[in-house]
């Protein structure tokens, strides 16, 4: 049976997300796109959802760590967008174009999904906010600033979001999380295998000197049983019987594990 991954869960519901994104544009509709993606992903993380049920407590901790990396990437991408905006404003000779460019990027820089992720940090909603914000930032940062500037200067309507490109970005973010989770699981398995091949702590080995003396007492009593007082024989037998409490027994004149 194939493992449940964030990517295949996303793929199985991608068409529903694509329908909701049709007709929107970025970065103009960044806030709305952010909410749509976050809400969509949040529906995949319900308490009885297959992905959430597939993670144990330690994997949940790793997932939360991955979110911090996503938020850092989102912040870096936002800085790239800010740099692009500044460059376009310097190149443009039209005051109206400059004002329009400033408004265009405001939804991404001022209302990025980091705000949503921050408010939900520590919950499953943080995954949704972080993925949504990262996808929006990457999409906007990788758009051609030259093409955008030319279209705005000529009065062309702001192009609609390329749904396939955007959902592929979300998918790649999901794949990055899956790769991290898989790496973690592989490392855990390696540690388990290493531990299973290591000799386990044993009372028999740790207290070998003591058990050697018990063996010597047992042999001495057995070899002189007819001449030994009954109390000594009884005490020796009780001593040997007590070994069972520690998973040990006397066999062929040696103390061994049962």
Clarify whether residues 160 and 184 are in a common domain.
yes
The verdict on residue 133 lying in a domain is: yes
Same domain, 93 and 130: yes
Would you say residue 75 lies in a domain? yes
105 and 129 share a domain?
yes
Whether 54 has a pLDDT exceeding 50, the answer reads yes
Q: Could you tell me if 51 and 104 lie in one domain?
A: yes
Closest C-alpha to 146, from 73, 192, 220, 92: 92
Last residue of a domain, one of 150, 178, 196: 196
Which tokens sit at 199?
A: 């000799």
For 57, 121, 167, 173, 200, the CA distances from 64, given in Å and listed in that order, are: 11, 8, 22, 14, 34
Structural contact between residues 122 and 63, judged by C-beta atoms closer than 8 angstroms? no
Which of 67-71, 128-132, 152-156, 205-209 shows the lowest per-residue confidence on average (mean pLDDT)?
152-156
Domain that holds residue 127: 6-196
**Residues 247 and 192 occupy one common structural domain:** no
Q: Where are the alpha helices (DSSP H) in the chain?
A: 6-11, 14-21, 30-44, 50-53, 57-91, 95-110, 114-119, 125-142, 145-153, 163-197, 203-206, 208-223, 230-242
CA 22, 26, 32, 36: dihedral to nearest 10 degrees? 50
Residue 218 and residue 102 in one domain: no
What is the chain's mean pLDDT, rounded? 74
Query: Do 182 and 208 lie in a common domain?
Result: no
Q: Is residue 238 part of a domain?
A: yes
Which of 47, 32, 111 has its CA nearest to residue 119? 111
pLDDT at 77 (0 to 100): 53
Quick check: is 239 in a domain?
Answer: yes
Tell me: do 207 and 192 sit in the same domain.
Answer: no
The rounded distance, in Å, linking the Cα atoms of 232 and 211 is: 18
Amino acid 238: pLDDT: 92
Among candidate residues 170, 196, 222, the one where a domain is terminated: 196
The answer to whether residues 237 and 143 belong to one domain is no
Q: How many structural domains compose the chain?
A: 2
Q: Are residues 42 and 111 in the same domain?
A: yes
Between CA 94 and CA 92 the distance in angstroms is 6
Give the whole-angstrom CA distance, residue 152 versus residue 145: 11
**187-241 pLDDT per residue, tens:** 989 998 888 887 777 888 888 899 899 999 999 988 888 888 999 889 999 999 9
**Is there a single domain that holds both residue 86 and residue 172?**
yes
Question: Which tokens sit at 58?
Answer: 């330690």
- Look at residue 1 and tell me if it is in a domain: no
Instruction: Single out the residue in 163, 196, 229 at which a domain terminates.
Output: 196
pTM for the full predicted model: 0.60
Indicate whether 117 pLDDT > 50: no
Pairing mode of beta strands 248-251, 254-257: antiparallel
141 within some domain: yes
Q: What is the pLDDT of residues 3-38, one digit of tens each?
A: 788 888 889 889 989 999 998 988 788 888 888 888
Q: Which range, 88-102, 129-143, 207-221, is most confident?
A: 207-221
Tell whether 99 and 25 lie within a shared domain: yes
């Amino acid at each position: 049976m194939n493992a449940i991954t964030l990517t295949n869960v996303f793929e199985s519901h991608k068409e529903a997300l694509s329908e909701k994104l049709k007709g929107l544009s970025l970065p103009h509709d960044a806030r709305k796109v952010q909410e749509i993606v976050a809400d969509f992903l949040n529906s995949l993380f319900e308490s009885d959802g297959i992905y959430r049920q597939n993670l144990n407590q330690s994997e949940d901790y790793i997932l939360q760590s991955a979110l911090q990396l996503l938020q850092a990437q989102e912040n870096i991408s936002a800085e790239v967008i800010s740099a692009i905006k500044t460059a376009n404003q310097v190149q443009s000779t039209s005051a109206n174009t400059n004002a329009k460019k400033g408004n265009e990027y405001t939804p991404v820089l001022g209302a990025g999904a980091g705000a949503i992720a921050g408010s939900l940090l520590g919950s499953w909603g943080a995954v949704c906010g972080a993925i949504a914000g990262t996808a929006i930032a990457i999409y906007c940062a990788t758009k051609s600033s030259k093409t955008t500037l030319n279209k705005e200067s000529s009065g062309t309507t702001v192009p609609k979001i390329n749904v396939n490109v955007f959902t592929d970005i979300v998918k790649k973010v999901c794949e990055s999380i899956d790769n991290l989770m898989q790496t973690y699981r592989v490392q855990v398995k390696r540690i388990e295998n290493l531990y299973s091949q290591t000799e386990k702590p044993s009372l028999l080995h740790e207290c070998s000197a003591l058990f050697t003396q018990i063996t010597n007492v047992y042999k001495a009593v057995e070899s002189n049983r007819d001449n030994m007082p009954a109390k000594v024989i009884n005490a020796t037998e009780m001593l040997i019987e007590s070994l069972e409490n520690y998973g040990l027994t006397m066999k062929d004149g040696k103390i061994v594990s049962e």
